[in-house]
Amino acid sequence: MSVTMTVSLYGRQVSQVENIPFTANMNVQQAMEAAYALTPGHTYNFSLQYFGTGLGYEVVTLDSIVNQMGSDLNSYVFWALYINGRFSPTGIDETILHDDDQIGWDYQSYSPELHGGTRYEKARNAARARFA
């Protein structure tokens, strides 16, 4: 019983951690911690930021690549979480996994058409408020 995690940049896969041991009620954060333990020399790394009860924990750095925000309202590049190819509606601490799930991370640019009304719009707004 295991899960797999992929890391992509703008839709292009750059790495994968396979055979992450699955346990009942495992969330994405726990899977990421287990994946860290599986990588030789801990070459895979991540950091989190807590955005409150509405969003929970979000990944702000993955494989040493940091979320970025520009001066334009829509200029936001971030790590989007996918579970089995679909946007996750919840944060890594609230997303419960199942055996054989595929965790996907994609570093992508914010788009109102794609991300409007999603948790990523809320995270962008929360991050922008911190720097206002």
What residue ranges do the domains of the chain occupy? 2-131
Fold classification of 2-131 (topology level): Ferric Hydroxamate Uptake Protein; Chain A, domain 1 (2.170.130)
pLDDT tens readout for residues 72-130:
767 889 999 999 999 999 999 999 999 999 999 999 999 999 999 998 898 888 887 87
Q: Which residue bears the tokens 């924990």?
A: 57
Give the number of other Cβ atoms within 10 Å of residue 93's Cβ: 16
pTM (predicted TM-score): 0.90
Q: Which residue bears the tokens 């309202």?
A: 73
pLDDT for 22 beyond 90: yes
Write down the mean pLDDT value for the chain: 90
